[in-house]
Each structure stands twice: as structure tokens, then as C-alpha cells.
Structure 1
Amino acid sequence: MLREFHVHDRKALLDAATQQGWDPLPAEELDEDDLHDVVGAVMWLADSGAEAEGADGLLDLGKARRLRSDEGHEVAQWSPEPIMEDFGKGWLHRASDQPGDSDQSEERTDFAALFAAEPLHCDDPECEDEGCLWQLTPRTADLLHTALTVLADEAYDDAEELGDKRLLEGEHEGNWGVFARMPKLTFAADLQWRRRFARAADDLADDLEHDRWPQPTCTAEELALHFALDDARDLHDELGYEDDADHTALPE
């Protein structure tokens, strides 16, 4: 989880945290960059769910993957020493979610149920009845969802690796697939902007998962949808009829 705040009134923030039971770190544990333990106060308020007075929330991103030791997953494969971390109470999950059980969170969305194809009203190609207009079919929804999910993952990865560095025309082409496809005026964007674009693609994919047409609500989502539509055409050719049985099992 990544949360970013802009503190515009330090005193109000510290007072709000103190009222919620926060105690600052001892003076000997504080460094010169944060003599008043502002970071600690923000974290306390964010964790408690209380309003962070004197601060504005700028970014709130969350992403999670389930670790399965029985499948060889590790927290950090590069570490020569075991890594121990206390996640508190952790997530609440069903007792049936034991190693070997099917992971419900990884099951594919049932697009056949969400976007069931309706029979045409008639055979007239110029009919304007609602029953003859264009439909978002299960296969189209599945392809578009896959394209948006892949786009979001690639954008998050590229953003982390690229950081605040400026894209240079020609030099980075092919290395930063997502952001090199964008208009040149975006090449100087920073890390936070790139993360927000990735979030835009995620939001559109989430719309499809919840039985909503992916209607862009901002320029970033509009651009992400254009990219996904282009990518979905390529996905259609790449999937093959034996490579993705779940997709080909959807109604034609």
C-alpha cells in the first residue's frame, strides 16, 4: 500500500495525532529531517482511520498478491537471510483457503454471466432497435479486461523502474513500452503521474469485473482505453484456440 500526504499545517496535524493517542518518538531517535516526528503522526492517523487535519491526501494505491509457500513463492528471493515482518492481524480469510484449495481470488471473472449476449431483434443490418445495436459480448469483455490488466501491470513496473527520469525520443523506445507510446508532451512526467496512469487502466479493468462498461472519466482513462483496444486486437491473434481454454469456452 502506498499513501502520500501533503502536510500544510504541521501544528494542526500534530495536535490531531496527539488527540488520537499518538506519542512522538524520543528526541534521540529523531533525525534532522523530521525533528517533530511528522511522519510518525501521519502514519498514526492514517492507520487509525482518523482525519489527518492539516494534511491533504495526494495518493492512495493498494495492490496485493497472495503468497503460497507450497508453490515456491518467497517474499524476497535475493535475500541471503530470512526476512521476518509483523503484519498485525493480517487479512481475514475463510478457513477453507488452505494450501491445496482453489484460491477464489485468482478465479477468472465470469464474463459470460456479466455480459450475456442478447439475441438480435431482426436481420435488418440498418435496424436501430436497441436489440440490434452493438453489444459488449463476453469474449470482447474478456479480451479487453486482459489487455487493461496487462497494460496496468506493465505501467506500474515501468513507472517504478523509470522513476522521475525523462523519456528521450529514440533512446527509450522499446524499453518503456507503455510510456513510449504516449504523446511526447508526457515524456517529462514524474513517477506519481505514471503511477496514476497505471491506476487509470486498473480502474477500467475493475469496471469490467463489476458489470460496468469501461467508460473513461478522464484523459488518462481515455488514453488507456485506446491502448487496450489496440492491444486486445493483438491478444485475439496471440491467444490461439488451445492457449486459453477459458476464453474460447465463452459464447461466440
Structure 2
Amino acid sequence: MGKNIEGEAFITDHIFSYILHGKHDVWVGGKKYSFQEGDFRFFKRNQLSKYVKNTDNGGFKSIAVHIDQTTLKEMSKQYSLFAEETYSEGEAFFIQPDHKLKGFVESLTHYLQEPKVDERIVLLKTQELVFLLLENNPSFKNILFDFAEPGKIDLEAFMNSHYRYNVSIERFAFLTGRSLSGFKRDFEKLFNTSPSRWLIRNRLEDAKYQIENKKEKPSEVYLELGFEDLSHFSYAYKKAFGYAPNKRI
């Protein structure tokens, strides 16, 4: 039995992906998505995500294409492709594939064993994918060709649903549509404490609840709650509550 692969990531580019083998749970925007072999899926850019890749029964394997902003801006200029409205129906979703998308994925499998693929081929395949997605669902135009950066959003709602992510204060500022100084100013006005102290306190309170009420093990919760290693988590937990996390299980 393989060990599941867990982690978190900031999705910088739009991502199209197809699962060749295995199962994949992803949390984006406070919502859990469960994918399995044969699923076509799409992730919007500028999102925080957590994931678990199931490695049982042969492991996990997928094909992913990152659709970068430079390519999309060049296509927008060359083919007059522009977003007509803001797409707000989800940060990640399944794609109902047609025969062309299936053929596209099959064409990519020939490159899986290559140590390095010619950048010109990568560009052409990315452009091909964009046109296939637009043909599959015209609403993709409002996702792919929306070049706006995150606007100023509700800080309290965002932080309460994203405090478990182990990312920098600068990243939180960017995702809430603020400069670093503006983020710190708004944060302290709202929460009456600094972002770093608030994040640690909320993560530890969450950990305490999971350990004492849901009987989770410290080794099962520390990564989920944004701590980099178990020893740091145990030290912070004992400092906050006066006893080690494994003392109340």
C-alpha cells in the first residue's frame, strides 16, 4: 500500500489536467473536489489549494498543461479574444470532454517519456488546447482572457476560510487585492492583532479542537493546518495551551 502524497500549492497559471491513474482530492476556495481516473478538470489561476494524491493500486499519474498569461495575452491580441464578463461559478471544475479533447490528451501521452519537450511544441500544444476549450465551452473565454488581478475583497471572510494555508503574508495581501502595507493596516483594524499572531492562534485553536474533540492525532493535523513540521507544531501548541498536543488524546 502506497503512502498518500499531501501538500499545498498556489495555482499561478490556469491548469488543464487529465488523470491517467489514481485518485486526487483537492481543496480550492473552501470547497473539496474529488477526482479519479479518466476525469478532465480545470483549475483557475490565482488560487490557494491543498491536495491529497492517492498512491494505492499503482500510484497516481496525470497529465497537466499550464496555460500561462503570456501565451493568452499574445492569443488575445492576435485573434481578438477578450473576456466579456466576469466568470464566478467556481475555482475548479470537471470538464465534459468531447472527442477532440480526448484526442488532444492522447497526443500528449507521446511526450511523457521525453526528458525535455521543444518549447515551440509546448507553445503550439497550449494554443491548441485553448481553442479546443473554447470550442468545448464558449464560457472559457471569460476565464482565460480575463487578465485582471485579484480585486479588493472581504478580508474577514477570506482569512476565515484560508488561514490553514501555509503561505506568506505577501501572498495573502495579493489575493485579497491589497498592498502589503494596506493588508496589514486593514487586518489589524479588523482583528486587533497582527496577521502572523492571528494565523498561529487560529491554526492552534483548530488543532486543539481536532485533537481533543475529533480525536485526531497531531501527526495527522499539523500539515493540514499550515505548520511546516511536527516539532514546530508541538512547541507552539505547548506554548499556547501549557501541554503537548499528544497529552489530551
Normalized against structure 1, the TM-score is what?
0.23
Q: Specify the structure having the higher radius of gyration (Cα).
A: 1
Higher strand share goes to which structure?
Answer: 2
Normalized against structure 2, the TM-score is what?
0.23
